[in-house]
Chains A and B, each alone.
Chain A
């Protein structure tokens, strides 16, 4: 009985989802770079990361929601709404800090409301978030009337900022948020409570963890990260469209699930979901460079999530049967 991990545990850590994702990212880069070296150009890689970092951030909140045993399919619409709100405030002349802060507050409020309905009224999260998705989507169109937002002030573009002249802000936010969230979920009682509530609500209650409060909290956190993601998304563009990015929630969910978050609850890390988000973006770009029509991107992502789900269910059933 040693203080260090046993060989078997080390082996398991190596074979963990996170490690496999890291290997896949590097491996794919090498393979595609071999076929088409321009894939590995600094320009391409940085575009890839910068353009998709916001998905990883949104996946942080989504991972928390799924680990707690719920799901959300409204986040794509919410990000669209928050981006428009942010841009509109900037164009209307409000202080930039306000334009950046408002999406965070609104994001938290909208998501927390959904969480409350799920937790206290017992409505399945799929139904609540499905309804909210349409409310947000339709709301955005009717309020903007289809107009795009142009004339954004220069100071708005947070995403263009390069910290210390080198580190692009989106990457900094993505890495920073992931690390902070991962630490919190690993080392803070609040974070462990999410795993408990998602893993076995009955047992969680006996340990003093309230599944209901955990649900509301998790949705609120999800709203916060959605707000940050919306900021990253909005501040990269010169114009903000009046539609919500199509299929965004599906990509975010895919990132979480492929990242190792089990849809049955109680398992998964945000490091995994961030790595998966990077991998998904890499795949999308890779398809172009190896001359496969980019229209197959979603099909590849779809097969990935289906395969991961099936593998996860098989693994769980096997374990339940063995014990």
Chain B
């Protein structure tokens, strides 16, 4: 039960903007000692920015941070640590070659004479910490690199405790865990709560929220939507808060004649994230692929494109059985993949706009190995006009353009190849409304030309607004297929979160 008194950690009316993006506007949140307060929201809702502010990595533009009721400033991660706030990120920050005990106590190990580290005291304290959370199989002398993901996460939690953390922020802690590890994690969280630690629990997974949290707050588009006592709400209400009811005319659905099946994939397996997936996409069709972060959607796309070839299963393109073992093979077969992370996967930021446009199609622009510069220039000029890319010149470094224009370049470079199957991975993430609309309009043009589109998106309105069919993925498998008419926010949301047991109903 949470204690009375001021919250351990509170943030009020936080505003934070980055160039071109309003990450948080007027968000308030708090966590008391001895409570688990969940934080929910879609990708881009502002959760990670809020975490960074609470852990001192980023400073808010406006708003207050209060620790135990006193207004404070967190100028950096060290301040947060001293204030007793510890964060456990998804990518664990551990030293794989050092032992568990060393990882826990690095930087603040118990010292003996002459400043020498007291190794036995350190190992004793590590064992005590391990025992306090009733963890059986963690050995203080084991090398962290040899531990499973679940155990490594436990080491991170122990490290936080070794700093006397009174607020523990956990970012999607169960994303990479097995069922058993998740159970164990909950045990630990309950113990921490009993000890008076306040836990900020970020997750998408409805069943977890209802099992472990006392309160839940929902963010959407950087704004605070509401806070509920967990036992007084249900999953339907939460989904509605996360997604909102607006499926606006932002996505004018274009009707296109559906043709033959362009892609027929059966039982694709590619460890560890693709566990037997079958997908069909017809010419002129937009199939939306929804799912939580970590459900395996990008991995599926990369398997279809050839980055991580399938280990078993078959792929047919226009009826023909094919094998796609590399992106070059994928491209040759008419598959195009616009990646999720345009900065690191989609564009070469240091290269010019012109060179980026030709990068995926160089093989068609060369004669005896020489690049036809005139053709390349024409390609770039036409593309800039067709996609309305705003750039001061074709020689401008692509990295200097806005997010929306960068995305158009990535799209354009693949469309230059006239693909028959276009796989889009979060095509409108992080770009402004105007560019979003243009990309959606473009998709409409493409399907009318007979292109088959597989669209991965974490933005429910986009998925629901654009798709002819919606597939939902969870943990490497397709768990639901909904034709347009039946794809409602609650239906899709429920399938995504796996709340099939009705557990999230009000008591």
A residues near B (Cβ < 8 Å) are 1, 5-6, 9, 187-189, 192-193, 195-196, 199-200, 202-204, 206-209, 266-267, 319, 323
Contacts and interface: CB of A to CB of B under 8 A. Distances in A.
A192 B141 contact: no
Interface string B112-156: 000111010000000100100000110101100111110010000
A193 B70 CA distance: 34
Interface stretch (B88-96, B368-376, B459-467): B88-96
19 contacts: A1-B127, A1-B139, A9-B141, A9-B142, A187-B116, A189-B111, A192-B109, A193-B107, A196-B107, A199-B98, A200-B96, A208-B78, A209-B107, A266-B98, A267-B97, A319-B96, A319-B146, A323-B145, A323-B146
Contacts of A1: 127, 130, 136-137, 139
A216 B77 CA distance: 24
Contacts of A207: 106-108
Contact of B145 (A5, A204, A319): A319
Given A9-B141, A189-B117, A195-B97, 10 more contacts: A1-B136, A9-B142, A187-B119, A188-B115, A188-B117, A192-B102, A200-B94, A203-B94, A209-B106, A323-B149
Contacts of B102: 192
Given A5-B141, A319-B146, A199 B95 contact: yes
B116 A188 contact: yes
Main secondary structure of the interface of A (DSSP, over half): helix
A200 B93 contact: yes
Contacts of A204: 95, 106
Contact of B148 (A195, A267, A323): A323
Contacts of A193: 107
Contacts of A208: 78, 107-108
A192 B106 contact: yes
Which interface residue of A5, A187, A208, A266 has the most chain B CB atoms within 10 A?
A187
Contacts of A199: 95-98
Contacts of A5: 141
Contact of A187 (B117, B145, B152): B117
Interface string B168-180: 0000000000000
B117 A192 contact: yes
B220 to A, nearest CB: 31
Contacts of B142: 9
A203 B139 contact: no
A200 B152 CA distance: 15
A193 B142 CA distance: 19
Nearest to A267: B97
Most chain A beta carbons < 10 A, residue from B98, B107, B111: B107
Contacts of B149: 323
Nearest to B146: A319
Nearest to A195: B98
A193 B117 CA distance: 12
A266 to B, nearest CB: 5
A254 B152 CA distance: 33
B97 A189 contact: no
A209 B107 CA distance: 7
Nearest to B156: A203
Given A189-B117, A319-B146, A206 B152 contact: no
B145 A203 contact: no
Top 5 A-B pairs, shortest CB-CB distance? A207-B107, A203-B93, A208-B107, A199-B95, A207-B106
Contacts of B152: 323
B159 to A, nearest CB: 9
Given A187-B119, A192-B102, A192-B109, A266 B97 contact: yes
Contacts of A319: 96, 145-146
A153 B205 CA distance: 80
Nearest to A205: B77
B77 A200 contact: no
A240 B142 CA distance: 50
Nearest to B99: A9
A93 B152 CA distance: 62
A196 B115 contact: no
Contact of B95 (A187, A189, A203): A203
Contacts of B141: 5, 9
Contacts of B108: 207-208
Nearest to B111: A189
A206 B92 CA distance: 12
A199 B146 CA distance: 15
Contacts of A323: 96, 145-149, 152
Contacts of A196: 95, 98, 106-107
B51 to A, nearest CB: 14
A203 B93 CA distance: 5
A150 to B, nearest CB: 45
A203 B144 CA distance: 14
